[in-house]
């Protein structure tokens, strides 16, 4: 299993390289906490807010690009209209809301019949093949509410409820329990409504083009990672923590995303790197000039101006080459030929610790 950005920046050597070359220049959020956490699942709230960010950006941006969808070769029909994977291309795609729809063993005659049997089955699988027993299905009514909001801006309450269910919340009538889940749901909805209200006041939520879930290093040839959004020239990561600190960990993650975005652009323009050596995304990521954290509970975006930070091109390119070298060392695969990739990204930059192909 490939080492991704999150684990890569935990390596002492990598942390030291980042901190010594580009120490954290981020600024903590200045506003007071506006929406406290009620104590419920951080993951549930995080996924809900991320979905709401997606919906809000769909409403306010002129064009939406989803690298996971725009990954196959674009075909054109006789009228010149673009088609991707058999579906007619739209600038603003429709949003699908999927909700919890029971367990997979509930409608199967064979195989696991309960959670214990499912867990036993998973024990025999490698880590990369672990599977969830949860079934999901599209809720057409909720999808309609969300897409109507994208068109009209109406029914924010319905969108909040759809976002919560899409994140995995199971409504009170879906579970038999002595816990007052209706009361919990009301508290959750109120908390998320406030977070959505703050989001709708943000200037960064409007732009020309938004890249949803930009994916880097998909082929494991360098370093896998997935950002939240790129809005025009801004790469933004969404945080739902109560803390207002622009931490070193946040900065390392953003800087690595910037580097991987830059790598994608370099490989896309290279004539020596084959299609199999590039990202699946059949396009070029935008040039990023700012990276930032949106502190959703404070209603504040804090950014770092990359153009001011990276004022020495030679120093940055050596840093990027070192990151690529170290990432290939971490994720190298015997069946991948890295010579063309390294010919673009590392070999032109002669530095003391540079590795050769024979080192891998």
> pLDDT exceeding 90 applies to what percent of the chain?
52
Is 309 among the domain residues?
Answer: yes
Q: What is the sign, positive or negative, of the torsion defined by CA atoms of 104, 108, 113, 117?
A: negative
Could you list the beta-strand ranges (E) of the chain.
61-65, 75-76, 82-84, 87-88, 98-103, 134-138, 207-212, 215-216, 225-226, 229-231, 234-239, 290-295, 300-305
Is 290 among the domain residues?
Answer: yes
Which comes out higher in pLDDT, residue 351 or 18? Answer: 18
Backbone angles phi, psi at 137, to 5 degrees: -145, 150
pLDDT tens per residue, range 183-232: 888 899 999 999 999 999 999 999 999 999 998 876 567 888 899 999 99
Is 37 among the domain residues?
Answer: no
Backbone angles phi, psi at 292, to 5 degrees: -160, 165
pLDDT tens per residue, range 269-322: 888 887 766 777 778 899 999 999 999 999 999 999 998 999 999 999 999 999
The average pLDDT across 104-130 equals: 71
Checking if the pLDDT of 173 tops 70, the result is no
Checking if the pLDDT of 27 tops 90, the result is yes
Question: What's the token pair of residue 192?
Answer: 């998320």
Report pLDDT for 72: 46
Q: What is the sign, positive or negative, of the torsion defined by CA atoms of 173, 174, 179, 185?
A: negative
The average pLDDT across 23-36 equals: 96
Question: What's the token pair of residue 86?
Answer: 């058999």
Q: Which of 37-51, 88-102, 238-252 has the lowest mean pLDDT?
A: 88-102
Is 5 among the domain residues?
Answer: yes
pLDDT tens per residue, range 11-22: 999 999 999 999
Report pLDDT for 220: 61
Is 125 among the domain residues?
Answer: no
Which comes out higher in pLDDT, residue 106 or 315? Answer: 315
* pLDDT level of residue 75 (50, 70, 90 thresholds): very low
Q: Summarize the chain as % helix, strand, coil (round to 5).
A: 45, 15, 40
Structural domain boundaries, residue 283: 1-30+213-360
The average pLDDT across 240-257 equals: 97
Checking if the pLDDT of 82 tops 50, the result is no
The candidate with the shortest Cα–Cα distance to 264, out of 215, 298, 227, is 215
Go through the chain and tell me how many residues it has. 360
Question: What's the token pair of residue 188?
Answer: 């959750």
Is 220 among the domain residues?
Answer: yes
pTM of the model: 0.85
* pLDDT level of residue 171 (50, 70, 90 thresholds): confident
Is 253 among the domain residues?
Answer: yes
Q: Structural domain tally of the chain?
A: 1
- Provide the mean pLDDT of the chain: 85
């Amino acid at each position: 299993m490939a080492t991704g950005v999150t684990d890569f920046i935990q390596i002492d050597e990598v942390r030291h390289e980042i901190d010594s070359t580009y120490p954290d220049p981020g600024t903590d959020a200045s506003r007071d906490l506006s929406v406290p956490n009620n104590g419920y699942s951080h993951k549930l709230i995080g996924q809900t807010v991320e979905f709401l960010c997606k919906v809000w950006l769909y409403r306010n941006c002129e064009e939406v690009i989803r690298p996971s969808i725009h990954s196959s070769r674009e075909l054109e029909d006789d009228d010149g209209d673009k088609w991707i994977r058999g579906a007619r291309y739209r600038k603003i795609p429709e949003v699908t809301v999927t909700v919890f729809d029971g367990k997979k063993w509930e409608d199967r005659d064979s195989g696991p019949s309960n959670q214990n049997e499912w867990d036993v089955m998973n024990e025999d699988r490698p880590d990369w093949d672990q599977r969830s027993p949860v079934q999901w299905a599209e809720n057409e009514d909720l999808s309609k509410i969300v897409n109507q909001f994208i068109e009209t801006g109406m029914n924010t309450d319905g969108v909040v409820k759809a976002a919560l269910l899409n994140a995995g919340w199971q409504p009170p009538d879906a579970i038999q329990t002595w816990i007052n889940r209706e009361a919990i749901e009301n508290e959750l909805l109120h908390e998320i409504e406030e977070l959505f209200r703050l989001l709708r006041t943000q200037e960064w939520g409007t732009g020309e083009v938004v890249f949803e879930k930009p994916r880097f290093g998909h082929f494991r040839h360098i370093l896998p990672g997935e950002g939240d959004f790129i809005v025009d020239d801004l790469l933004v990561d969404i945080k739902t923590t109560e803390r207002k600190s622009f931490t070193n960990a946040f900065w390392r993650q953003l800087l690595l995303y910037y580097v991987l975005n830059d790598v994608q652009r370099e490989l896309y323009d290279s004539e020596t790197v084959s299609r199999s050596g590039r990202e699946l995304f059949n396009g070029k990521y935008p040039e990023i000039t700012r990276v930032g954290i949106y502190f959703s509970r404070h209603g504040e975006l804090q950014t770092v101006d990359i153009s001011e930070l990276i004022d020495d091109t030679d120093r940055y390119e050596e840093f990027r080459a070192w990151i690529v070298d170290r990432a290939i060392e971490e994720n190298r695969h015997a069946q991948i030929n890295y010579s063309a990739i390294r010919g673009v990204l590392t070999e032109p930059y002669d530095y003391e610790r540079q590795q050769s192909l024979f080192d891998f």
